[in-house]
Structure 1
Amino acid sequence: MRVKAFKAWRPAEGKAESVASVPYDVVDTKGAAALAEGNPESFLHVVRAEIDLPEGTDPYSDAVYAQAKANIERFKNDGILIREEEPAFYLYSQQMGDHLQYGIVATCHFEDYEEGKIKIHEKTRRVKEEDRIKYVDTQNANTGPVFLAYRDSEKINALVEETKSTDPLYKFTAEDGVKHTVWKMGHVSELEAAFGEIPATYVADGHHRSASAAKVGAMRRDANPNHTGDEPYNYFLAVMFPESELKILAYNRVILALPGTEEEFFQALEEQFTIEKNGKAVPAKSGEICMYMNGEWSTLTPIYMPTATDPVAALDVSILQNDVLAPILNIEDPRESNDIDFIGGIKGTEELEKWVDDGRAVMAFSMYPTSMEQLFAVADAGMLMPPKSTWFEPKLRSGLLVNTLD
């Protein structure tokens, strides 16, 4: 892996908490406007710049990209963001309840993505990828990092432990209760060499950001007759976490409509699953799916388990898709269907019950979380998971460290 230190733009002293924002893709325009209200230093003015334009502005319009560019320039000119004089790596920790994880902030070479050394496990949607390409190209910057995972390294762990004992640049608790801490790291050459020994990293979250970063890098490479591969545009912003510290939550499903009658649904379901009405809302292990319908929870256990040699078919989300959603509920492509929605496990099963009890959905499925081992197995096989197979928490904040492409 080619990993480099970078000259970050970062919040000036005392401004990290007011600047740092949720990522662009976990909040809509209305929610972003509410979060940024009364705070002109919120990075949502950069990653959700439509909040500074007339209501109803198309978030994919040229005006939004131009406003984002103007806003980040304002942050720089007003001293809200300052630039490091020398390239550096950073250590970024997040604590959510008892869960604590440490990631290294660096830049990764886009050609490693092209060559499959930065591995993916999900498809991207063209409209979202094109949005991020235009956004990054217009800003000339990566304003939000890609969330990468790597297999644990003793050398990297030792450098992380050394950094923990130093004074942090930033330490604050966000409005959702997650504690964020950032340190500047030493040992630049040692870190670059240690990551150079790692054969691959894995996109945990940020498939559109990584795909678009690679496209922007390729565009600039092709436009530069003197391209060397060392130019800043070759590298995109990432936070890399060791697999042992990462926590994947369930990504649950709600079904908004039945194609037929309830009787027909249960007849078809009983051909594929044993159904136990036991009131259990959370699966105890992989291979179980909990279903909420008509005010009660049932556990579904497949009668025919897929072969373990197929890492995608063995996923619980694949079992649900292949044995329930497609053949029984006529949801062939969950990305395009209007009959399904997805709810991150961070919201708990109470949210599933609420959707059904309020009449917004006819049933809900509570899933067992995909494991890191399963994610690695799928990515190593060059295969793709069904959409919405993983939900990582806590989410990375935007605006703490920005990488420019010049």
Structure 2
Amino acid sequence: MAVVKPFKAVRPTRDKVALVSSKSYDIYPPNELEAKLSYNPFTFLHVVNPGYKYHKKHISGDQRFKLVHNRYLEFKEEGVFTQDEDPAYYIYQKTTPYHTFCGIIAASSVEDYHKDVIKKHEDTLRSRELLFENYLKNTGFNAEPVLLTYPDNSIIEAIINKYKEQRPEYEFSTSDKDKHLLWVVANKEDISTIQQAFKEVKTLYIADGHHRSTSSCLLANNLAQENPKHTGEEDYNFFMSYFLPESQLSIYEFNRFIKDLNGLTPDEFLIELDTYFRIEKRGQELFKPKQKHHFSMYLDGEFYALYLRKTAYTFSDAKSKLDSEILYQTVLKPILGIDDIRNADKILYSQDKSDGLELKLKVDNGEFKVSFGMLPVTIDDIKDIVDSGLMMPPKTTYIEPKLRSALTIYEF
């Protein structure tokens, strides 16, 4: 039974929302970030980059977090942000040139996270958990929701479609040609219907935002211990999430690029691969895998198709069936000497939508010696891993939608 709670969002005013909302801070290249900070006084980037006001680029730690809080207060004092008077759900639709995503922004329960109603598929780094927990504690708000997915539900879909027939509260497009719409669901009957529908959902899966969710839980635990009157209903016991039906997720693969062949020549490397794979040379013909356990490889100016020899590899659990794990166990570790795929200096992960062209370009320019592509995993693959008590290997999935910051803000 999932607890999905409406909340009183702090939001940009309708006339400024297109100027305020932003992508995640670390996505912007330096020149674009500088331009937005220089020419847009309303961008939320001023809040998360508070040193810009003082011409300081390298403020860190608690000092930076406290300045983030101060810039946020200034945006509220200047009327850029206002808070809704009543708790609400927020239907948010993002349309890209390729996909449309439509779900509900609401508050998730920390208790659901601890009870495994909310399940994760990635390991998190303790240092990042603590850093973001400290950020949340000092700033007192969260401006970017965790992406959660749930089985398609006709009751929730009917409510969403009802509101989509009405004029949205927000309607704007961004320079990347994405269109953003947001509706406010404040009607008590509709709120009750949505809450009850989510109570019937047994499991929610984190699609994106593992560190944000874990850090929110750490903060809640710490604040509960500091609060002698803790009830479990305080705002810090919840974190902002975007609930999206499973059918609307877009899941992409990460390509692998390797800087050297671990002392092998290309011919010697191909001989080593032959132990685990049936190899077809495709020359300049671009090969894209269409089945699981098939891989694309670009080496020494040629494309190759690699087909796993199932007699040479044992499937022991759900994780062992993932193509990213197969590539690690048969190629990256034993042949190329890459033990720690999270921190290895000689491997690069890149999410690419160029139909495999990146596999060729990064090798041809001399930056890498060999590249690998594979088929994306499915939501069922992710659920099989999670429900088996396992974790996905690093850089196995790139999941969309990527959400904008500061469309809705959750305070605690």
**Superposition TM-score, scaled by structure 1 size:** 0.94
Inter-partner Cα distance in structure 2 for 1:51 and 1:392: 31
The SS at the match of 1:202 is strand
Q: 2:227 aligns with which of 224, 227, 248?
A: 224
The alignment status of 1:369 with 2:370, answered yes or no, reads no
Inter-partner Cα distance in structure 2 for 1:35 and 1:364: 35
Inter-partner Cα distance in structure 2 for 1:173 and 1:385: 34
**Which one has a bigger Cα radius of gyration?**
2
State the 1:57 CA deviation.
1.3
Cα 1:346–1:210 change in 2 (3 A) is farther
Aligned to 1:69: 69
The alignment status of 1:298 with 2:304, answered yes or no, reads yes
The alignment status of 1:243 with 2:260, answered yes or no, reads no
State the 1:52 CA deviation.
5.0
The answer as to whether partners of 1:32 and 1:48 remain within 8 angstroms in 2 is: no
Aligned to 1:320: 327
Aligned to 2:356: 349
Aligned to 2:269: 265
Inter-partner Cα distance in structure 2 for 1:245 and 1:308: 30
Aligned to 1:329: 336
Cα 1:227–1:250 change in 2 (3 A) is same
The answer as to whether partners of 2:104 and 2:242 remain within 8 angstroms in 1 is: yes
Gaps of 5+ in 2: none
Q: Which residue identity lines up with residue 15 of structure 2 in the other structure?
A: G
The alignment status of 1:104 with 2:111, answered yes or no, reads no
Total equivalences in the alignment: 404
Inter-partner Cα distance in structure 2 for 1:149 and 1:97: 22
State the 1:193 CA deviation.
1.4
The SS at the match of 1:354 is helix
Inter-partner Cα distance in structure 2 for 1:270 and 1:360: 25
Inter-partner Cα distance in structure 2 for 1:109 and 1:140: 17
The answer as to whether partners of 1:178 and 1:394 remain within 8 angstroms in 2 is: no
C-alpha offsets along residues 327-362 of structure 1, whole Å, 9 cap, x if unaligned? Answer: 111111211111111111345533333221222222
Cα 1:90–1:67 change in 2 (3 A) is same
C-alpha offsets along residues 238-285 of structure 1, whole Å, 9 cap, x if unaligned? Answer: 001000111111211111233212243222211111111222342122
Inter-partner Cα distance in structure 2 for 1:320 and 1:398: 35
Inter-partner Cα distance in structure 1 for 2:39 and 2:182: 25
Aligned to 1:127: 127
Q: Which residue identity lines up with residue 319 of structure 1 in the other structure?
A: I
State the 1:56 CA deviation.
5.5
Q: 1:188 aligns with which of 187, 191, 207?
A: 191
The alignment status of 1:3 with 2:4, answered yes or no, reads yes
State the 1:30 CA deviation.
6.0
Q: 1:289 aligns with which of 287, 295, 301?
A: 295
My pick for the range that moved more, 238-247 or 289-298, is 289-298
The answer as to whether partners of 2:288 and 2:355 remain within 8 angstroms in 1 is: no
Aligned to 1:168: 168
Percent identity among equivalent residues?
35
Q: 1:209 aligns with which of 188, 203, 212?
A: 212
The SS at the match of 1:321 is helix
My pick for the range that moved more, 341-350 or 14-23, is 341-350
Inter-partner Cα distance in structure 2 for 1:21 and 1:120: 26
**Superposition TM-score, scaled by structure 2 size:** 0.93
Q: Which residue identity lines up with residue 321 of structure 2 in the other structure?
A: A
